[in-house]
């Protein structure tokens, strides 16, 4: 895929026929300039000996261009000679740009995810440490408040009237509960007697 990333900067040409037309137009322009310079210099007799050098210049120029060319979305090096005659669906540049945009977005997400995988655990540990320290501090404050409140408790005994009233209530409750248990035993015996 890294090789394909370099294709982004390549010059896009629709068909191989267009490539040949560009090459022919370039060669025609170079030969016209060559002929004009030869006439101006008065070297018409040397023209035939210089023509192979001009053709070599044109060929070298186009050979150097090949690594920078895409024809119908394919790198020039990947094209075969028989591709010129075949009917090929045109390359969709907008789709290609969208694909690369999504690819780059995915790379950004991967980087962000990797970064979070490295940093989040440390952040969580720090957060938990802070929470435990805050909980410990709050617990110590609560213990101090409890200690202060225990010192303030009035340790005096209740007066005799209060104790007598509590004792009377307790004895009445005990007597009531004792009577209820007796009645429960009597009812149990009667129910057993009815079943038999």
The pLDDT of 5-9, averaged and rounded, is 55
* pLDDT > 70 fraction of the chain, expressed in percent and rounded: 80
The pLDDT of 140-166, averaged and rounded, is 68
Closest CA to 88 of 69, 72, 70, 77: 72
**Whether pTM exceeds 0.75:** no
């Amino acid at each position: 895929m890294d090789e394909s990333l370099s294709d982004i900067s390549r010059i896009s040409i629709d068909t191989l026929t267009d490539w040949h037309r560009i090459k022919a137009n370039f060669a025609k322009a170079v030969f016209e300039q060559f002929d004009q310079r030869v006439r101006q210099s008065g070297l018409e007799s040397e023209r035939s000996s210089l023509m192979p050098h001009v053709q070599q210049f044109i060929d070298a120029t186009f050979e150097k261009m090949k690594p920078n060319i895409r024809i119908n979305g394919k790198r020039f090096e990947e094209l075969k000679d028989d591709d010129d005659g075949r009917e090929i669906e045109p390359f969709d540049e907008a789709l290609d740009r969208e694909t690369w945009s999504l690819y780059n977005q995915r790379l950004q997400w991967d980087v962000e995810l990797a970064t979070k995988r490295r940093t989040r655990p440390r952040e969580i540990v720090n957060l938990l440490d802070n929470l435990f320290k805050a909980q410990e501090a709050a617990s110590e404050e609560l213990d101090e408040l409890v200690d202060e409140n225990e010192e303030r408790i009035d340790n005096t005994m209740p007066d005799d009237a209060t104790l007598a009233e509590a004792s009377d209530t307790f004895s009445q409750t005990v007597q009531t509960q004792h009577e209820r248990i007796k009645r429960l035993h009597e009812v149990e015996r009667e129910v057993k007697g009815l079943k038999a």
